[in-house]
Structure 1
């Protein structure tokens, strides 16, 4: 077993070799790269990504990245393609084939059928003179000087280079499509980003009878009972028509007690916070969270166009909705 210094040196050697391989790709972002981007951008169907072995694993990730950034794509295993899965490819698609050698038998077997469909073929190989590279409509060179494997056998630098080039294609297309963060969130509704960008206050607020509210003629004691029942640490204060006139919170209660007010007789309008910050139901929860952090408030009332309280929420509600 190597000692610690040898293991560290080997790990750093791998990083250096793969970093050099990625850096070398920069000069290959040329007109061929742009041509591939145009084919994918103009595609009316899907980008069909294929590859065998480690190239297949990389291809699967590239397909997933394309799909999540605005370019519809999926992966087809080249071995399965020869046994029926090629039916997934239509004349409106574009094929992206990955093969470091450019001579992968399973891919070469299906090339005539791809050509017969008239489907544009983009190849990503490490051998510009290979069969796959020559027969492709566009070839992107991802050759590496050296694999990080000391035997120069295990795909390491080559897979890193292919993966990086795939990311470059996906992000260039994202920019070309003017793909937004909200677009991204629509394809990630279960993730934290989806929660942050898609959830609105109407989705997380307490509504109906769960909204704490008292009229401005109510006593402080009655307001405290309403706050206790609704457990949000606050209550809306409204006029006779139900329009918001103020908000009473735990913080207001502490200030009232410090001022030695009579809880039983003091009207709530005398100790409430007038003109509190409110939000519409359609506001994004993430936007409301930012506002609450800036204003240093723990609760928020949601009002309609006539300033009537229709909802209420606090930081705990945003935490439970995974917006925080």
Structure 2
């Protein structure tokens, strides 16, 4: 399916059709980061970011869903081999997603955990084979603490038949991401389905990245892709000078993003750690870039006329998708 055909199929829908989902599976895009050993594409950081940039340029919901679900499949690096083989027994159909919030509880019962709670914002909820969640650990009725006094939590993976989806996604954009809430009630799971998100068991370079850096870069590239799409559509309606401002910011963002990717790959190849200062630098750069892109788009929008306000126009959908994405907590300064 070519880019234009895919864009047409994504326009105006509130849920991906079977042919869109089949295309994602045929391209194995849920598994951008998954090792080839387990049926994935095993892309390096630069390759994966380039792929995410291209799909987010096609459609915001498409890029966002593939980013967050492939980002959840990235947790393959946190799992032990036996668990991986159970979850990724049909790799192209394996699609993880869920919530990063620590909201529910997991009561330790022998070598299992009894999980209950509700979580918000599971991107791709209707497309998932498994849900990921974070839960506070309780043992003998007492919440456990880490050595520093913070609450102890673990991440878990549960099959979709143990989950109840709450259909509450009513955002103005990214509609087809179906980023619904979900709940779990009294589900018992083996400890092999628990993991710590910052402990890895796979040797590939991508799993040597601090998770915060991985999240920053993979989200940032979505804003860049959607902003490129906005620029493409907007230049058909106006010649205002702010178009040049947006393209200037896009060139800076593209260069900075991929320079960081190459720099990180070089550091990892030398088996050196990525320091806290670099992690903070990347987060600040990404946050500033998203802010600059947003300001440029907002300055262009008043010059676009009524067509930009019409929901049956592609430009309007791109605008709504982009600014829905800006509300993700990662880059929001409240």
Structure number with greater CO (CA < 8 Å, separation at least 6) is 2
User: Which interval holds the TM-score relative to the shorter structure?
Assistant: under 0.3
Structure with greater proportional helix content: 2
Question: Which of the two has higher C-alpha Rg?
Answer: 1
Q: What TM-score comes out, normalization by structure 1 length?
A: 0.21
